[in-house]
Amino acid sequence: MATRGLFISFEGIDGAGKSSHIEPLAEAFRDQGRTVTRTREPGGTPLAESLRSLLLGEAMDPLTEALLAFAARRDHICQVIAPALARGEVVLCDRFTDATFAYQGAGRGFSTETLSILERMVQTGIALEPDLMLEPHLTLWFDLPPALAASRLESARAPDRFEAQDADFFARVAQGYAERAQSAPQRFVRIDAAQSRHSVWQQITQALVRRGWLAIMVAAGGGPR
Ligand SMILES: Nc1ncnc2c1ncn2[C@@H]1O[C@H](COP(=O)(O)OP(=O)(O)OP(=O)(O)O)[C@@H](O)[C@H]1O
Ligand SMILES: Cc1cn([C@H]2C[C@H](O)[C@@H](COP(=O)(O)O)O2)c(=O)[nH]c1=O
C-alpha cells in the first residue's frame, strides 16, 4: 500500500452526508497504520476559523465571499494541508475549492474565470512541488437531491447563512458540483448519497479499495453508526 501523502476532499450540498462519513473513514485509515489529518473548509486553522465565522454569519457581496474563502484556504494549505502531505499523512478535508465554484460560482453567480485565477494563485507556490497546483487526489462528491438534503437538515440544527438559502440556490449549487465533476472525471467519484448510510459507506470504501488506498477488509465492516 502506498505511503505517500493522500489528499481526499468531501463535497456536496449542505446536508448531503459528508461529515457523517469523515470520522469512520479516518478510523479505517488509522486501522491500516496511516496518520490522518481531519480538517474542514472554511476553517482548519485559527485564522481560517475566524474567517469561517464571518463567511457563515455576515452578509457580504459575492466577491468578498470568494476572497474570504480563498484567504482562509491559503492559510489552511500553508499551515495544515501541505505540511501534513509532506509528512506522508492522509488529509481528509470537509470541502475544498470545488465548494467555492459551486457556492460562490454557480450559487451566487460569481465569475468562474475569476475563481480559476484565484484558485491558481492560492494553490501554487507551496510545499514539495511549488510549480504545481495543489489539488485533492480524490474528491468524494455526495450527490443528493436538494429537497432530500433539506429534509435531512430540518431537524438537525439551526441553519447558517448558506443553509438558510432557498431551493433555487441549492439547485444551482448542485448543478455547479455536477459541472465541476464533469470537468475533472479522473479526480471526482460520485457517491449516490440518497442511499442508506451502509450503501454510502460501501460506495466510499470501494472507491478507495479500487485505487489501492484501503485494504478490501475495510470495505466489509465499519462505517457510520
Ligand atoms: N445516508 C443517509 N441517510 C439518511 N440520513 C443521513 C445519511 N447520511 C447522513 N444523514 C443525516 O443527514 C444529516 C446531515 O448529514 P451530515 O451532517 O453528515 O451532512 P453534511 O453534508 O456534512 O452537511 P453540512 O455540509 O451542512 O455540514 C444528519 O442528520 C445525518 O445524520
Ligand atoms: C469551503 C466553502 C464553503 N462554503 C459554504 C458551504 C457551507 O454552506 C458552509 C460550510 O458549512 P459546513 O457545515 O462546514 O459544510 O460554507 C462556501 O460558500 N464556499 C466555500 O469555499
**Would you kindly state where each structural domain of the chain is located, as residue ranges?**
6-211
Q: Which pLDDT score, from 0 to 100, does residue 71 have?
A: 98
* Known binding-site positions for ATP: 12-19
Rounded mean pLDDT, 22-38: 97
Contact 7, 81 (CB under 8 A): yes
Q: Can you give the pLDDT at residue 217?
A: 62
As to burial, measured by CB atoms within 10 angstroms (0-12 exposed, 13-18 middle, 19+ buried), residue 224 is middle
- Which CATH number applies to 6-211: 3.30.450.30, 1.10.443.10, 1.10.3720.10, 3.40.50.300? 3.40.50.300
Residue 73 amino acid letter: R
Cell digits for 98? 470545488
Q: How far is the CA of 99 from the centre of ligand 2 (A)?
A: 7
Eight-state DSSP code of residue 134: P
Cβ–ligand 2 distance for 40 under 6 Å, the answer: yes
Residue nearest to atom 23 of ligand 1 (CA): 15
Q: Is the pLDDT score of 154 beyond 90? A: no
Closest to 11 in 3D by CA, of 179, 164, 132: 179
ipTM passes above 0.90: yes
Give yes or no for residue 100 CB within 6 A of ligand 2.
Answer: yes
Q: What is the pTM of this model?
A: 0.96
- Residues making up the binding site: 12-19
Residues paired with residue 93 on neighbouring β-strands, in sequence order: 9, 39
Mean pLDDT of the chain: 93
Look up residue 131 and give its three cell numbers. 510549480
pLDDT at 216 > cutoff 60:
yes
Q: Is 196 in the pocket of ligand 1 (CB under 6 A)?
A: yes
Ligand 2 near 95 CB (within 6 A)? yes
Average pLDDT of the residues in 166-193: 97
